[in-house]
Amino acid sequence: MIREVERSANGTAATGVAGNGLIRIPPEIDVPLTQRVSRLIDTSAIRRLGEISQLGLVHLVYPGAKHSRFEHSLGVYRNSLLLLQTLSDQPRFSELVDASGEEALVVASLVHDAGHWPFCHPIEDMRIASVPRHESRLESLVSGSEIAACLKNDWSCSSDDVMSVIAGKPFGETRLSGDAIALLGSCLSGPVDIDKLDYLVRDSVHAGVPYGRNFDASRLLASLTVHPERPKLAITEKGRTAAEMMVFGRYVMFSEVYWHHAVRSATAMLQRMVFDLKSLIKISSTFDLDEAAWIAAMRDAAFDTDSQNLAEGLFGRTRQLYKRVAEFNVLDRADLHRELAHRPYWWLVACGNELAQQCSVLLGRQIHGNEILIDAPPVKLEVDINMDVVMRGGEVRTLADVSPVTESLAHQQFDGHVKRVRIFVRASLRDAIAKLLQDDRLIQDAIETINREVV
């Protein structure tokens, strides 16, 4: 089993081992550090996360949301210790996971975000052919000299063991069993996992909203258990209410924070800027930069181009976000939501360009393609939220089966409700284009035109 000092996540077991200490993170949480953990988080790959914001452009709407991926990683690490405290006394967990597996989960919790670059997720959602997934970058970092040396000197797990836990499937020459990997993978990425249990609370604290904190995270962690039939996490019945509230809190955080209309306006501007600049600058060459240097590089590349208004509107001295002129979800204009959601990003750009051309004709003035942006749910869907619940009698049921609160969110597509399709335009164009788009036929014509061209 992992060292006792690391398994005591409340910070009280740091005695008797030289070099142990605590690090304080919001909201008033002490994270225990041992020497080997300190050596790991002092590698350049992990320290760099302190210069990359967890929520990217959200601070343009919620000014306090400037916390880093490093802070989040420390929170996930602490959750891994709490989870191991809960699971280590369960015979089925001990049957499936040995000390190397436990250590692999601890290391994975610390390094799982190391492959991220500034504004990683919205750029990945675009699926540009020349842009690698952050997981491929993570692999090279975990097996690279600094982290690999830490693992070799301080830990009983290998880089392949750690990557297997992060990927949730066997990786390289891992020594972990398939069942151990599946179980540990579900601890880090699943309907209820140590990653979500941190970011919901942390993002809520820094954004200054209550939505992601209105569930009992301690009770939920304490109720996590090994599924009696499959190698994955489940919850006991005592954690049902906490899980219900977490699911609903996540729903509201997406609705009011992550997919707030002004946040999505900024995101749409960033994506179009990157898309238009990819022929002028190799986007992947900027991924080793910290956030400030990345922004500077993109502003330089955008200077005196059609993308300058986007770059300066986001990162200049004066915030100039595009304005919303249309919005659709599965309850309000489901037909248009269905036509525009989960399309490839290049298709959305083409459709926006076509819409700009049509508006140019109707208004008698030139409207550039990047002045009308279509923002829609990306191709990738959200993860399943339907956790298995182990009832008191041993029966296993899904959370949706025992929770009227969760049933609707689990059985109706999460993306369709909180991830709306929106059309944004430059502020000076808002009134004129909003009036044109009152007639949906303009949007339908643009969709049909691009679909014909694709065929």
The pLDDT-based confidence of 406 (bands split at 50, 70, 90) is: confident
Mean pLDDT over 1-16 rounds to 45
User: Which of 6-15, 201-210, 250-259 is most confident?
Assistant: 201-210
In the chain, domain spans: 4-258, 261-381+416-454
Range from 190-194, 261-265, 383-387, 427-431 carrying the lowest mean pLDDT: 383-387
Task: Confirm if 122 and 44 have CB atoms less than 8 A apart.
Answer: no
Distance linking the first and last C-alpha atoms of the chain:
58
What is the C-alpha separation between 106 and 28, in angstroms, rounded?
A: 21
- 176 has a pLDDT exceeding 50: yes
Structure token digits, residue 419: 């991830």
Tens of pLDDT, residue by residue over 301-351, are 999 999 999 999 999 999 999 999 999 988 888 889 999 999 999 999 999
The pLDDT-based confidence of 9 (bands split at 50, 70, 90) is: low
Mean pLDDT over 136-154 rounds to 90
Q: If DSSP states are collapsed to H, E and C, what string results for 183-232?
A: HHHHHHCCCCCHHHHHHHHHHHHHHCCCHHHCCCHHHHHHHEEECCCCCC
- 41 has a pLDDT exceeding 60: yes
User: Which of 55-64, 126-135, 390-399 is most confident?
Assistant: 55-64
User: What share of the chain has pLDDT > 70, as a percent?
Assistant: 93
Tens of pLDDT, residue by residue over 437-449, are 998 899 999 999 9
Mean pLDDT of all residues in the chain?
A: 90
The predicted pLDDT at position 15 comes to 30
What is the C-alpha separation between 26 and 275, in angstroms, rounded?
A: 36
What is the C-alpha separation between 169 and 171, in angstroms, rounded?
A: 6
The predicted pLDDT at position 177 comes to 97
4-258 CATH, one of 1.10.3210.10, 1.10.10.10, 2.40.30.60, 3.40.640.10: 1.10.3210.10
The predicted pLDDT at position 215 comes to 93
